[in-house]
Amino acid sequence: MIVSALLTSVGINTALCVMFFALYSILRKQPSNYEVYVPRLLAEGTSKRRSRFNLERLIPSTGWVAKAWRLSEEELLSLSGLDGVVFMRMITFSLKMFTFAGIIGILVLLPVNCWGDQLKSIDVADFVSNSLDVFTISNVNSGSRWLWVHFSAVYIVTGFICIQLFYFNLWKYFCLTASAISIVIHELTVEIFTHISIVLIFNDAKKLYKTVTQLRSDPTQQKHRRSFSSGLFGRKNSVIEHYEKKLENIEENVRLKQSEASLAGEEARAAFVFFKSRFGAATAVHLQQSVNPTHWITELAPEPSDVYWPFFSESFMRRWISKLVVVFVCILFTILFLIPVVIVQGLTNLSQLEVLFPFLTSILTIKFVSQIVTGYLPSLILQLFLKLVPPAMEFLSSIQGYISHSDIEMSASRKVLWFTIWNVFFATVFSGSILSVLRALLDPKNIPGKLAVAVPAQASFFITYVVTQGWTSVSSELFRVIPFIFSLITRPFTSTDDDFEVPSAPYHKDIPRVLFFGLLGITYFFLAPLILPFLLAYFCLAYIIFRNQFINVYAPKYDTAGKFWPIVHNSMIFSLVLMHIIAVGIFALKKLSLASSLTIPLPLLTLIFNEYCRKRFLPIFVAYSAESLIKKDREDQQNDATMTQFYENLISAYEDPALLPIHYSPDNDSLHTPLISQA
């Protein structure tokens, strides 16, 4: 691709961005669009619908940018929970990383690349003087000593990123262990942290049901439950005492039944079991309960708003089979998706297109059209196809057997990320043919060599990709194209006073996208440093726009305390190792075998660093330590008021929406009633 095509693309997208910004500035001030652009403020009552017309409403303004810029991390934490903070930290992390790599890339590597004349000397006839390839490592002469500059850059940037990752992990770690817990408790997730509750899934429903029936027929308890149902409480303390006792009873009964449980269970049912202390709950979660490990499965209960009911009562086997099926479908989906990628790749090759559709020849000879087709259309089409992926992956994750929305979202994030890496990065690099991708992967010895040839060749495609896919996606995120169109269409049929739902941040869509741009930056920074300014522009836009959206649009439905961080960490490590493999190949290709050999320890060191981080930081994402649990338990014991409030919330916290009618008729004998509805 030539520079003018890139400039066309940059021009179009800058214009699009400016247009989106201007439109956003105006449209967000129109009361009829409040539901689209400031649903959060509307729900909180901060913004009221003003119907009075105002000239100011028609002039674009930049006040929102300043507001988003000034937002402190504490405010963000209170607005969007730890998830939002970690998401923004991921963007600032990328900004730091690429500012550092950008300084090295633009000031050192780019001049070195331009200085070389490999491309000129090899193929004078085919060489276009303003080709983007002049700025890539391809232009450095083979065996040139200047390649040691690239070698040093690879080592320095890897070291910088690893140190940054370590500090980020450390920050996240202190976040999870110290301040964050208390903040999360008081702000967002009272249920999960104040009394970690346990989901016990067991097969022996009939026996448990008997126990429950016995509890029911007990006249003293019957009385209490009636008082619960009618909402006429006696002294609160006595109710709480009774409640605690009953919880103990249930726990004891569950345990007794458990030891009697027969192996051949006929029906699978689930229950919430509440514990009087976090420590007790953690004990029940981390110990295998029944002798048969597939028989009683304990999991930490999600927050009430986070529970995903469809798989709640499923047995181990069904969830396991669901998972196998979803893995299979995912692989199939990923492979079939290569078809649109192949078509898109065809567009970058005009002559191929002219052969396929001869009637297009006359149009394609117009310079502007051909530049749009080669520079802009391919990645736009790819982008439209990729829009389908996050919802598809979210659907697949939702039938995989998870019992919480947050697990589904994290699983979907992972799927979308690996899908993008496979189908956008590798499929593009290996010219879109599934066979050539597979052939390359099935020949690991030659992977570095093949990558070294194929990756730099696609530099211009990915630079355009950053501009089109990145810039456009982030400004359309601001403009909220689809909700806006949807609101335009439905507006005539809905009254403005209807209830509306404040959306929650679509992390499963945004995290993989940000990480994929991180991967592009890391792998291309020493091959084609020209990508870095465009990436930095993307991350700056993302920084402002996501902060703005957290203020105005998204309200968190639940908070996972940033448990998606391991996905980010793994993606960074993968990007680094991929970059090292490409470096090994490039140095070998450029006939600098010493540099090639000296690069080999780098991926090993990175993997050892990763292994250390897994030991040092990963456990806190899986479970809280006894130390912090006991500390919080003690604090709770001293704080009676919170506990009273908590027990009140507990009564109605977990209610399967499908079972609510049963809950309101306590004498119904249905087996479906989960334990919580007896309390």
User: With respect to a copy of itself, which residue has the nearer C-beta, 488 or 623?
Assistant: 623
Give least dist CB 65 to a copy of itself, A: 39
Give least dist CB 20 to a copy of itself, A: 45
* Position 616 contacts a copy of itself (CB under 8 A): yes
Using CB under 8 A, which of 51, 231, 615, 641 touches a copy of itself?
Answer: 615
Which residues in 148-177 contact a copy of itself (CB under 8 A)?
Answer: 177
Using CB under 8 A, which of 153, 284, 463, 467 touches a copy of itself?
Answer: 284
Give least dist CB 612 to a copy of itself, A: 7
3 state SS of 503: coil
Buried b (16+ CB within 10 A) or exposed e, 335-362: eebbebbebbbebbebeebeeeeeeeee
Here's the x/- map for a copy of itself, 333-352, by CB under 8 A: it reads as: --------------------
Residues in contact with a copy of itself, counted by CB under 8 A, come to a total of: 41
* Position 367 contacts a copy of itself (CB under 8 A): no
Here's the x/- map for a copy of itself, 628-667, by CB under 8 A: it reads as: xxxx------------------------------------
Asked if 553 and 400 touch (Cβ cutoff 8 Å), the reply is no
Structure tokens at 552: 């105005």
CA distances from residue 278 to 33, 59, 194, 641 in whole angstroms, order as listed: 44, 54, 7, 18
> Long-range CB contacts (< 8 A, 24+ apart) of 175-183?
175/82, 175/85, 175/86, 175/561, 175/562, 176/561, 176/562, 176/620, 176/621, 177/620, 177/625, 177/628, 180/82, 180/561, 181/624, 181/628, 181/632, 182/632, 183/77, 183/82
**If we measure between CA atoms, which residue out of 657, 644, 650, 658 comes closest to residue 678?**
650
Using CB under 8 A, which of 255, 367, 387, 491 touches a copy of itself?
Answer: 255
User: With respect to a copy of itself, which residue has the nearer C-beta, 126 or 627?
Assistant: 627
CB atoms within 10 A of CB 237: 10
Asked if 120 and 127 touch (Cβ cutoff 8 Å), the reply is yes
User: With respect to a copy of itself, which residue has the nearer C-beta, 7 or 626?
Assistant: 626
Q: Which part of the chain contacts a copy of itself (CB under 8 A), choosing from 64-72, 305-313, 466-474, 624-632?
A: 624-632
* Position 292 contacts a copy of itself (CB under 8 A): yes
- Report the C-alpha gap between 203 and 196 in whole angstroms: 23
Q: Which part of the chain contacts a copy of itself (CB under 8 A), choosing from 64-72, 239-247, 276-284, 553-561?
A: 276-284
Using CB under 8 A, which of 94, 289, 345, 599 touches a copy of itself?
Answer: 289
- Report the C-alpha gap between 410 and 83 in whole angstroms: 12
Give least dist CB 438 to a copy of itself, A: 8
* Position 290 contacts a copy of itself (CB under 8 A): yes
Q: Which part of the chain contacts a copy of itself (CB under 8 A), choosing from 18-26, 255-263, 580-588, 657-665?
A: 255-263
* Position 624 contacts a copy of itself (CB under 8 A): yes
CB atoms within 10 A of CB 258: 18
User: With respect to a copy of itself, which residue has the nearer C-beta, 49 or 255?
Assistant: 255
Q: Residue 201: CB partners within 8 Å, gap ≥ 6?
A: 268, 269, 270, 271, 296, 297, 298, 299, 313, 314, 315, 316
Using CB under 8 A, which of 594, 608, 658, 660 touches a copy of itself?
Answer: 608
CB atoms within 10 A of CB 56: 8
Which residues in 436-455 contact a copy of itself (CB under 8 A)?
Answer: 439, 442-445
Pairing of strands 269-273, 198-202: antiparallel
CA 213 to chain centre: 44
User: With respect to a copy of itself, which residue has the nearer C-beta, 217 or 259?
Assistant: 259
User: With respect to a copy of itself, which residue has the nearer C-beta, 295 or 513?
Assistant: 295
Q: Which part of the chain contacts a copy of itself (CB under 8 A), choosing from 25-33, 224-232, 288-296, 334-342?
A: 288-296
Q: Which part of the chain contacts a copy of itself (CB under 8 A), choosing from 159-167, 287-295, 404-412, 478-486?
A: 287-295
Q: Which part of the chain contacts a copy of itself (CB under 8 A), choosing from 130-138, 252-260, 343-351, 518-526?
A: 252-260
CA distances from residue 121 to 126, 129, 141, 455 in whole angstroms, order as listed: 11, 12, 9, 21
**If we measure between CA atoms, which residue out of 570, 390, 565, 373 comes closest to residue 477?**
390
Structure tokens at 87: 């998401």
Pairing of strands 297-300, 198-202: antiparallel
3 state SS of 153: helix
* Position 294 contacts a copy of itself (CB under 8 A): yes
Structure tokens at 241: 């005492």
- Report the C-alpha gap between 397 and 7 in whole angstroms: 40
Q: Which part of the chain contacts a copy of itself (CB under 8 A), choosing from 36-44, 251-259, 400-408, 580-588?
A: 251-259
* Position 316 contacts a copy of itself (CB under 8 A): yes
- Report the C-alpha gap between 485 and 324 in whole angstroms: 38
Q: Which part of the chain contacts a copy of itself (CB under 8 A), choosing from 9-17, 62-70, 277-285, 542-550?
A: 277-285
Which residues in 408-427 contact a copy of itself (CB under 8 A)?
Answer: none
Using CB under 8 A, which of 266, 499, 627, 667 touches a copy of itself?
Answer: 627
User: With respect to a copy of itself, which residue has the nearer C-beta, 60 or 601?
Assistant: 601
* Position 626 contacts a copy of itself (CB under 8 A): yes
Asked if 466 and 14 touch (Cβ cutoff 8 Å), the reply is no
CA distances from residue 402 to 270, 478, 623 in whole angstroms, order as listed: 13, 31, 18
Give least dist CB 623 to a copy of itself, A: 6
Q: Residue 327: CB partners within 8 Å, gap ≥ 6?
A: none
CA distances from residue 257 to 203, 204, 282, 296, 297 in whole angstroms, order as listed: 11, 8, 21, 11, 15
* Position 291 contacts a copy of itself (CB under 8 A): yes
* Beta strand residue intervals within 534-599, DSSP E: none
User: With respect to a copy of itself, which residue has the nearer C-beta, 40 or 295?
Assistant: 295
* Position 286 contacts a copy of itself (CB under 8 A): yes
* Position 612 contacts a copy of itself (CB under 8 A): yes
Interface residue list for a copy of itself (CB under 8 A): 177, 255, 258-259, 282-284, 286-294, 316, 320, 324, 439, 442-445, 608, 612, 615-620, 623-631
